[in-house]
Structure formats: structure tokens, C-alpha cells
Chains A and B, each alone.
Chain A
Amino acid sequence: MRRFEYLRAASIDQAIERLSFDPGAKLLAGGTNLVDLMKYDVACPTTIIDINDLPLGDIKETSDGGLRIGALVTNSDLAFHPVIENRYPLLASAILAGASAQLRNAATVAGNLLQRTRCSYFYDVMTPCNKRTPGSGCPARNGLNRNHAILGASQDCVATHPSDMCVALAAIGTMIVVQGPNGARSISLADFHRLPGDTPEQDTTLRNNEIILGIELPPAPEFQRYSYLKIRDRLSYAFALVSAAALLTIDDGVISTAHVALGGVAHKPWRDTAAEVVLVGRPASRGNFHQFASMLLSRSEALSQNGFKIELARRTVVRALEQAASRTPQSQSDKRVH
């Protein structure tokens, strides 16, 4: 760990100002990811700006019937909020699939959006990593890459985004509200996380001097057909090998909307709206789900050890869609997949 200065921000403007003139500054929310990375010398901020006093902890309904969630709302509070439980159960379920109760009590919405990859090379400063030290190389490409990306990877980086929450947000369709020195703007979740390309050090399109104020969810009906299915190396407390978030509306056995996002497969939550269109107007059948899953994964590429993820992802998508269609969403406490 490197020495750093600690500042407790009194206002949003103060935090932004500090970020603007101090490029080594980092915001601290729950600290469950940042502090970890600091302990491993992966993150070496010069200044920690603690934002926990800022007024970003509210959950409010918006005029259009959507929901605005403050950046500092904890993962636990979000998952157990009555409106989330009723109208965004996919989000609640995805959050509860992640980490542990203790971590979720500390982790925040913004911190979860910005959590960094769990690639073991990224985490180990004794090894090269283009994401951590640009230009140093990517040992995962020809090394241990069992957990790595099958979609959207680049020569320079094959890391995945580890979040569960973000996979649900991708399926729901979410706007991220951010503020910088020149005011606020909104970024859609699809444009928020990036693919690695040749600048894998940049995870997102958030600028250095911007702060996340919160997220906005579109209006949602009650009694949805949804499921979040996470497949991992043990039954709990592990990041996803692959996960699928599925939201369906079905009228008379025919699909009218289908939103599906994949986790654990790419540098960002993976969604393909073009493929989703194929499901619309078709019966909610296993065959159709299969066809869709194959389309969704058609551009996947295997590394030396992670080829299994392609088929696993396909099957996970099919099962999540089946669970959604039959209104039997995956339970996050009963570990049996049904």
C-alpha cells in the first residue's frame, strides 16, 4: 500500500474540483474494491476522496414512472427495497447472487459499476498486465485463462467485467447519471463499460474528473418474467464463469419483448439487441431459446482454456429464458438450478 492523502468531501462540487486538479485522486464509496486493490498495490491513489457524506443515498421514483437510485445506495439496501423487489426483481436477484451479505452491506451502486476485473494477473503486481501497466503484456492470453473473455476481447486484454448487478442493469436498460466540471450528463449502460481494444486500462467511458450521481431505471411493470442465473466454480461466493439475466414479456405464448444480458464473458455486460429481435413474435419455446443463444454467442472466440464457456453460456441463456418464461426465476439461496 502506498501513502495517500485522505479528504472527506463536503460537496459534490468539491469532489469534482479535487478530481480535476489531482489526477491521482480516487473516490471512495464502500471501499470493498478500491481498498483491496490498494492493499495489493494495484491501485496507488495519491488522494482518497471519501464521498460517503454526499447526498447520494436516495431511491426516488421519477416522473415517468422509473426509478432514480443514488450512487451511494448500498447493494443490500437496493436488493431489499420494496420497489426493487416488486418491479425490478431481476436486479434484486442479481445483486443477491454476488459477493456476501457483509460485502453487499458496504458495496454501493457506483462502486459496483466501477469494480475492476478479477483477472489474477491484473491483481498480481509481480506479473505483467496491460490493464494495470499499459504495454507490459498480457500473460493470460497464453496462460491461465479459464475464467477469461469469450466475447469482445482484444490482443491486449482478455479480462472480464465481474459484476452481477451490472448484468441485470444491462438487461433492464439503465442510464448512468454523472457530473463533471461542465455539468451533468447521462450515459447508457451499454455505452458505459468499454471493450478493451488497445486501451484496456480504461474500463469505462467515465472521465477522470466525473462522479457518478446515480442510475435511472426505466418504468417497469409488476409481475415480470425474469431470471438471473449465475454459474460459478462453487455454489456461492465466487465470481461468475457465466451468468445470464433474462427479462421476457409473453402474450398468449408469444414473446413480445426479450432482454438478455450475459456476465462473465466479456469486458462488459454483454447484450445484443439485434439478436433479441429474433425472439420477438415467436413462441417461448426451447428451440427458439436455443437459436437465440447461438446467435448471441456466434462471435465468441475461445482461448486455450476457456472454450467450455461458450457452450456453458449457451446453455445458461437457454435455462435462464426457460426459468423466466415459466415464472420460476432462479433462487439465489437454494443452489439447485431448476
Chain B
Amino acid sequence: MDQGPAITGKSIPRIDGPVKVRGQAKYAAEYDVADLLHAAIVSASIAKGRVISIDAAAAKNFPGVVAVLTHKNRPWFWPFSFLYKDLAGPPGKPFRPLYDDRVLFSGQPVALIVADNYEAARDAAALVSVSYEREQHATDLAVEVSKAYKPPRHRLGLAPTPHPTGDADRAFLASPVKVEASYTTAAENHHPMELFATTVEWSDKIVTVYDKTQSPKSVEIFLKVALRLFRRKVRVVSSFVGGAFGLGLRPQQSVILAVLAAKALKRSVRLVLPRDHMFALGYRANAIQTVSLGADENGRLLAIKHQAVAATSQSEDAQDPMLNFSASLYRCDNVKLTYQLAKLDTVSPCDMRAPGAATGMFALECAMDELAYAINIDPLALRLANYTERDQSENRPFSSKALRECYLQGAERFGWAKRSHAPRSMRKGKELIGWGMATGVWEAAMSPAPARVKVSLLADGRFEVTTSITDIGTGTYTILTQIAADALGAPRERVVVKLGDSALPFNPIQGGSWTAATSGSAVQAACDKLKKKILLRAKQTGIVGNGQATELLSPAALADLLKLSGSDNLSATATIINVKFGKKYASATHSAVFAEVRIDEELAVVRVTRLVCTVAAGRILNPATARSQIIGASVMGIGKALYEDAATDHNLGRCMAHNFADYHIPSNADVYDIEVLFVEETDDKVSPIGVKGLGEIGSVAVAPAIANAIFHATGQRMRDLPITIDRLTRLSD
């Protein structure tokens, strides 16, 4: 009756689009709460040392100011740092704002002004003067690289850097063709559109926290344990999140400080961290890498050596899968990967879209391009010559791998065959033209922790789907609606999806590109269960003779059913546990990106005039939102290649690019044509619904494709990101 054609796999417009454009979607800082206090931070100007004194007299006397919190008068904290661990943190001691007098990084909050209006809090914050005892800081990775170390403890949930296979050192030395080069990548900040913000609604029994996070559940647990709210009910709400890119994976300073203040004052408090504080919340670790590739004259890889030293903070060993894909992307018997960290006096680095991969693959894919030119074969042909159907690092097949189709369809679409191989061989007018390509890869995973979804039949015949996970702008509301509608055979108007609330069924963290696969599978399972229940109930109550599901699921039949069975509570819950397929298969999302750049030969003005991104990501639930994911990630890739640099003054130990005038992200003018193609890929193993996830993959291959295109255009290897004009100005000589 109701059942229309399936909508999963169709370009359904975003379910949350209308509320967003009408301004009805509420973000963390937009909740109206009675008697709300407003907080503002005072942050450290030095990178390392101690706070000697804080003169807050003027701030305290400022009209409207209610309190000034510092490490001296904050509520009691656990002295054990392990109690501040969260679901996504690396090994080490998590940063605890206002814990003691130590300054660990420039920008660290050292005082919190709480006032009865926002302006008073902000203005009073400017009146606080802090004196410090300075210590010698270290913020320059190029210097600290000499003290690089292997992280002693491994980050939970992160696949370890693959063990060496064969003898890469020897094989490299013996290789007829060798390339070896070093690459550096700048620290980047996440800069989601929405600022980090928290509104705490305080009461004796229940504390409701409206927070910008990628994990309401993780924040709830953290607040209960670390901030000792275990006697109260804590509810964390993040119905809408204006982007996060990984910076919301861990409980942020905003929620910790706002809840601290609320607890101290027993009042409702809001804290919005300003844009210029973004650099003090986390960053994509800058890194120095060396790649050595050995090959035979036909381009067959004989050795891969990939070394990386990534930045971390003094107190945590932040780790990401920087080298994990270097062992599995190509066929090669001798691989050696060395992943090290170097400590800096900064806030801890934090996962940022395609963490690790975007950095590691930049180096590997540029080195592959260098190899192609060392052998004098086409860069795409080199990839195909080293194509592997097995993940050699673990010696297992892939659950599916349509990377070859990505290469071929992308090349076709881009017109790669018309490329002339020699650098500087294509030009138009005063511009050099360069075509470059690169491969992208990201693990296709399910959430490492179990995820629960509940589906209930409402009295009006609609279905409510609930789970605690957020939609950080990726389209989660929409795809879950599509899956539920199809599973229940109901039109999408009769499906209501509720997300982003820790009071809803447990669903750990939105990250790692696993949300669609995990939550989608859980929705599918819960809906299947509910359908069975409805059929059973129908039989029991005897309302429908033939027991046809389609008839039963019409609103009228369902209303009858609820009436007759004397219950308005018909629901089903499903939990997806990531048993997957153990170690039998490797699973990965792949992409091939083809880039065209045009560069003014004299002035080094670079335009990325064309990007073709081909992606193999299993089943595509919604081509429209999927395409948006890849386009957004590609724009980020352009930023990584050409602009983004959280530049630090090492004399001051301070990031100076802490605003959008100095931290450049691509503007509209910087983004020309981006074409996205999804290739067919059927995978019945990766997740119950055949989905691989799309959040990260789009960010991986864009920067190396652009760097390789710049080489092709200019004949210059640009091994340091971002590729700015000053690095490019030696063009015509």
C-alpha cells in the first residue's frame, strides 16, 4: 500500500535541510535556558611555564561579573589523570583546563570569567592580567625531530603500524631504480564553521548539556567520571553539529570549562570558544617524512621504506594511521615503516579528517610520482603495474576492491590519455598546465564499540528511529531515514529520526567514516525486528487475516493494531557489534584523484582548474549527500595542498595564524570544477548493509594529486605543504 520504490541509493535531499535554512535547527550555543550565565576564557600568552599570579580584581569588579575561576578556586578535581580519559584519547595525560599552575601550551585557558551577560564576560576577560614564570619552550618540529621516539604505548582502537615484511633496506639498496625524498606537511586546524560551544542547564537532579561534540555519549561518561557528576543524571544533547572534522571526537575544553563553572556556581552557564582559540583545541599533526622506493626497470616495486615523525604534545602520545596504508596499497615484498613522534609544547594534536592517511599518503603518492619519472613511465601505469588484490601487510584478500575501476574510469573522464608525459610540456598562453594523479585509501571499518538503535511505532502511525550518534553535517539524518523507510516499507515522511542525544540508545562516536555503515546496519536490523514484531502482534490480535506486511504497515492498520493490542509502545532495538569478519579480509575504501593545475609561469599563481575524484566505497546510500562529502573533502584537500598552515612563531611558541585572515582556507574563487564519480562496488562482507563510509576518503588523494600536477606543469618537485607562492617562485629560471 504505502510501499513506494526503494529510496536507499537515491539522491534524497537532506531531511534536515529545511530546518537548517529556516534557522530552526538549534546548535549548542543557541538553546534558551533560564537564568543563564555566560563565560569567557582568559588564555595563556606563553607556551611553557607557570602561572605566578592572576590579577583579576578589575574583572571581578566589572558590572555583571559573577565569578572568576582559576586553578586556585575551581571545584575539586580528581588528582588522577586517568579518570579524564575519554573514548577517543591517545595514551598519556589528558589536558585538564584550570587543573594547576602549569602552562602547557600557548592559548591554554588559565581563567574563566563568568558573568550575567556575554559582553561583560568577554570585556572583563580583557581586564585580567596574568604573570608567568617562563620556561624554554619547544615548538619547532624541525628542531625536535632529533628527539623523535617510538610511542611506547599504542593508541586504543588504532590499527598498529604494520610490521616489516621482507628486507626493505637490502632490497632498496639492490634496486635498479631508487627514489628517496623527504616531505613536510604543516600543522592544520579543523576550523568547522560552528565554534566550539556548550550550554549547561543546571539543576540538582539533572544536568542537561547542549554541546558541540561528535559523541554525546562520550561526553556524558566523561562528565560523570571526570567532573564527578555521577550522582546526577547527565544528558548531553547535540542535535545539530556545524562540522567538526575530528575536533569534536574528545570532550572539548568548552564542555569541561562550562560544566566546571556550572558546578561551582550551581547555575546554568554557556561558553562559546572564539575562533582565535581554535588553534589551542587541537590540530592535524605536522610531520616530516622520508619515503624510499626501490623498483625494477618496469616499475615493479621492490622496496618501500616510509618513515614519519609527527608532532605530539608533551603530555600525550597522539597517534594516527599515518603509515598504515603504505604497506597495503601496492604489491611489494619488502616494506619497512617507521612511525615516530616528537614532543612539542602545544596542545595535543587531534584527529582531523582522514587523520594520518592524508599526511602519509601525500608522501607516498608523491614518491610514486617521482618513481614514475625516474623510470619514465606514466604515473597511472606505475600504479597499475603495482596493483594488488591482497593486503600484503596481513596477507589477506580485500572484502572488495574496485580501485582499478577508479583508476580507469577516472582516467577516462579526465582525459588522462591525452596527457603528454614530459614536465613543462603543456601550456596555454602564459600558463603552464599540469596533470597529476594520486591514489587514496582509508580503512572501511565499523565502529569499534557496539552501536544501538531503537525503532518505535508512534501512535500516529509514524516510526521513530533513535540513537545517540550525531549528524555532523554529513547527512546521517537523511541516510538513516532512507534505510528505515525502505526497511519498514513506509514513505520517508512517516519516519522520524532522532539523533545527537546521550539519553538515546548508546552509539559511541561519529568518526572514522564508520557511522553510515554501523548506524545504518543497526537501523536496518532494528527495523527488520520491528516489522516481525508487528506481524506477530497482528496475528495475535487477529486483525489481519492474510498477514501481508505491506497492508499491515499502512497508518490505518497500524493505528488499529495499537488500539487493539492495547499498547502504544511497539518498538524494537538492535545492537551492532563489530565482529565483522575477524582477520579474514582487509577492507578499505579507495579513490583515484586526477588534478589539473594552471600556473602562471612568471608569477607562480596556481589555479586548480579541474579535479576528478573517483571513489569506490561500497554501496552508496545517497549519491547527493555522498557527493557533498567528497566535494567538501576535496576542497579541504586543495586547502591542504596550497594554503593551510597553522604557522607558529617559534620565538613566542605561539600559533600566529589564529584567524581567517592568516589561516587561509580555499575561497570560492579557488575552487573550480570538481567532478565526483562513484564506481560500482558490491561488498557483502564489510558491513551488513554493504556500506563502507565516505567521511575521510575524499581528503586523502587531493593534495598529492595537486603536488604531482604542479611537478608536471613546472618540473619542480614541491615536497613541502602548503605549496605557497614563495616556494614556487623560481619558475622560469
Where the two chains meet, the residues of A that have a C-beta atom closer than 8 Å to any C-beta of B are 1-3, 40-41, 118, 120-121, 123-124, 126-127, 139, 142-144, 146, 231, 233-239, 241, 305-306, 308-309, 311-312, 315-316, 318-319, 335-338
The distance from the CB of A127 to the nearest CB of chain B, in whole angstroms, is 6
Q: Are the CB atoms of B667 and A142 closer together than 8 Å?
A: no
Tell whether A337 pairs with B123 under 8 Å between CB atoms, given A142-B651, A315-B603: no
The distance from the CB of A125 to the nearest CB of chain B, in whole angstroms, is 8
Q: Are the CB atoms of A139 and B649 closer together than 8 Å?
A: yes
The answer, yes or no, to whether B449 is at the interface (CB within 8 Å) is: no
Which chain B positions have C-beta within 8 A of A306? Answer: 726
Which chain A positions have C-beta within 8 A of B652? Answer: 127, 139, 143
Question: Interface stretch among B3-11, B329-337, B392-400, B654-662?
Answer: B654-662
Q: Are the CB atoms of A231 and B45 closer together than 8 Å?
A: no
The answer, yes or no, to whether B24 is at the interface (CB within 8 Å) is: no
- Closest A residue to B598 by beta carbon equals A336
The 7 A-B residue pairs with the shortest CB-CB distance in the complex, in nearest-first order: A236-B669, A126-B45, A308-B726, A235-B669, A143-B649, A237-B667, A120-B656
Q: Are the CB atoms of B649 and A233 closer together than 8 Å?
A: no
* Listed A/B pairs (14) with beta-carbon separation below 8 Å: A1-B122, A3-B123, A120-B656, A124-B656, A231-B725, A233-B664, A234-B664, A235-B605, A235-B607, A236-B670, A305-B726, A315-B602, A336-B600, A337-B605
The distance from the CB of B611 to the nearest CB of chain A, in whole angstroms, is 15
User: Bound complex: CA of A316 vs CA of B604, how far in Å?
Assistant: 11
User: Bound complex: CA of A17 vs CA of B657, how far in Å?
Assistant: 40
The distance from the CB of B182 to the nearest CB of chain A, in whole angstroms, is 20
User: Bound complex: CA of A235 vs CA of B671, how far in Å?
Assistant: 9
The answer, yes or no, to whether B174 is at the interface (CB within 8 Å) is: no
Q: Are the CB atoms of B670 and A337 closer together than 8 Å?
A: no
Q: Are the CB atoms of B126 and A2 closer together than 8 Å?
A: yes
User: Bound complex: CA of A120 vs CA of B729, how far in Å?
Assistant: 24
Which chain B positions have C-beta within 8 A of A233? Answer: 643, 664, 724-725
Convert B245-288 into 0s and 1s, putting 1 for each residue whose CB lies closer than 8 angstroms to a CB of A. 00000000000000000000000000000001000000000000
Within 8 A of A (CB), among B650-701: 650-652, 654, 656-659, 661-662, 664, 666-670
Q: Are the CB atoms of B643 and A234 closer together than 8 Å?
A: yes
The answer, yes or no, to whether B486 is at the interface (CB within 8 Å) is: no
| Residue from A121, A127, A312 in contact with B603 in the complex, judged by beta carbons closer than 8 Å | A312
In this complex, the member of A234, A241, A305, A336 whose beta carbon has the largest number of chain B beta carbons within 10 angstroms is A234
Where the two chains meet, the residues of B that have a C-beta atom closer than 8 Å to any C-beta of A are 43, 45, 106, 119, 122-123, 126, 276, 429-431, 598, 600, 602-605, 607, 642-643, 647, 649-652, 654, 656-659, 661-662, 664, 666-670, 724-726, 729
Since A124-B658, A146-B726, A337-B600 are in contact, a sample of 17 more A-B pairs with Cβ atoms closer than 8 Å, ordered by chain A residue number, is A1-B122, A2-B123, A120-B656, A120-B662, A139-B652, A143-B650, A143-B656, A144-B647, A233-B725, A234-B667, A234-B670, A237-B669, A308-B726, A308-B729, A335-B607, A337-B605, A338-B429
- Closest A residue to B431 by beta carbon equals A336
Q: Are the CB atoms of A319 and B661 closer together than 8 Å?
A: no
Tell whether A338 pairs with B430 under 8 Å between CB atoms, given A123-B659, A234-B670, A235-B667: yes
Tell whether A144 pairs with B667 under 8 Å between CB atoms, given A1-B123, A308-B726: no
The distance from the CB of B589 to the nearest CB of chain A, in whole angstroms, is 29
Which chain A positions have C-beta within 8 A of B651? Answer: 139, 142-143
| Residue from A121, A123, A312 in contact with B725 in the complex, judged by beta carbons closer than 8 Å | A312
Q: Are the CB atoms of B664 and A319 closer together than 8 Å?
A: no
Which chain B positions have C-beta within 8 A of A142? Answer: 651
User: Bound complex: CA of A235 vs CA of B94, how far in Å?
Assistant: 40
Q: Are the CB atoms of A231 and B670 closer together than 8 Å?
A: no
Q: Are the CB atoms of B649 and A144 closer together than 8 Å?
A: yes
Q: Are the CB atoms of A337 and B729 closer together than 8 Å?
A: no
Q: Are the CB atoms of B642 and A234 closer together than 8 Å?
A: yes
- Closest A residue to B726 by beta carbon equals A308
Q: Are the CB atoms of A118 and B670 closer together than 8 Å?
A: no
The distance from the CB of B658 to the nearest CB of chain A, in whole angstroms, is 7
User: Bound complex: CA of A336 vs CA of B43, how far in Å?
Assistant: 42
Q: Are the CB atoms of A121 and B656 closer together than 8 Å?
A: yes
User: Bound complex: CA of A3 vs CA of B65, how far in Å?
Assistant: 14
The distance from the CB of A39 to the nearest CB of chain B, in whole angstroms, is 9
User: Bound complex: CA of A3 vs CA of B64, how far in Å?
Assistant: 13
- Closest A residue to B648 by beta carbon equals A144
| Residue from A3, A120, A144, A231 in contact with B605 in the complex, judged by beta carbons closer than 8 Å | A231
User: Bound complex: CA of A237 vs CA of B663, how far in Å?
Assistant: 12
User: Bound complex: CA of A40 vs CA of B662, how far in Å?
Assistant: 15
The distance from the CB of A36 to the nearest CB of chain B, in whole angstroms, is 9
Tell whether A319 pairs with B602 under 8 Å between CB atoms, given A3-B123, A127-B45, A312-B729: yes
Q: Are the CB atoms of A127 and B654 closer together than 8 Å?
A: yes
Which chain A positions have C-beta within 8 A of B649? Answer: 127, 139, 143-144
User: Bound complex: CA of A27 vs CA of B668, how far in Å?
Assistant: 33
Which chain B positions have C-beta within 8 A of A235? Answer: 605, 607, 667, 669-670
In this complex, the member of B45, B122, B650, B669 whose beta carbon has the largest number of chain A beta carbons within 10 angstroms is B669
The distance from the CB of A279 to the nearest CB of chain B, in whole angstroms, is 20
Which chain A positions have C-beta within 8 A of B650? Answer: 143
- Closest A residue to B666 by beta carbon equals A234
- Closest B residue to A334 by beta carbon equals B669
The distance from the CB of B122 to the nearest CB of chain A, in whole angstroms, is 6
User: Bound complex: CA of A75 vs CA of B538, how far in Å?
Assistant: 71
- Closest B residue to A3 by beta carbon equals B123
User: Bound complex: CA of A3 vs CA of B124, how far in Å?
Assistant: 10
In this complex, the member of A120, A146, A315 whose beta carbon has the largest number of chain B beta carbons within 10 angstroms is A120
Which chain B positions have C-beta within 8 A of A231? Answer: 603, 605, 725
User: Bound complex: CA of A241 vs CA of B643, how far in Å?
Assistant: 14
Q: Are the CB atoms of B661 and A336 closer together than 8 Å?
A: no
Which chain A positions have C-beta within 8 A of B123? Answer: 1-3
The distance from the CB of A303 to the nearest CB of chain B, in whole angstroms, is 12
User: Bound complex: CA of A2 vs CA of B662, how far in Å?
Assistant: 24
User: Bound complex: CA of A143 vs CA of B598, how far in Å?
Assistant: 32
User: Bound complex: CA of A182 vs CA of B519, how far in Å?
Assistant: 75
User: Bound complex: CA of A126 vs CA of B668, how far in Å?
Assistant: 32
- Closest A residue to B732 by beta carbon equals A315
User: Bound complex: CA of A319 vs CA of B657, how far in Å?
Assistant: 30
Which chain A positions have C-beta within 8 A of B661? Answer: 118, 120, 123, 238-239
User: Bound complex: CA of A127 vs CA of B276, how far in Å?
Assistant: 14
User: Bound complex: CA of A54 vs CA of B622, how far in Å?
Assistant: 56
User: Bound complex: CA of A120 vs CA of B659, how far in Å?
Assistant: 9
Which chain B positions have C-beta within 8 A of A126? Answer: 43, 45, 106, 654
User: Bound complex: CA of A127 vs CA of B670, how far in Å?
Assistant: 32
Which chain A positions have C-beta within 8 A of B669? Answer: 234-237, 335
Which chain A positions have C-beta within 8 A of B122? Answer: 1
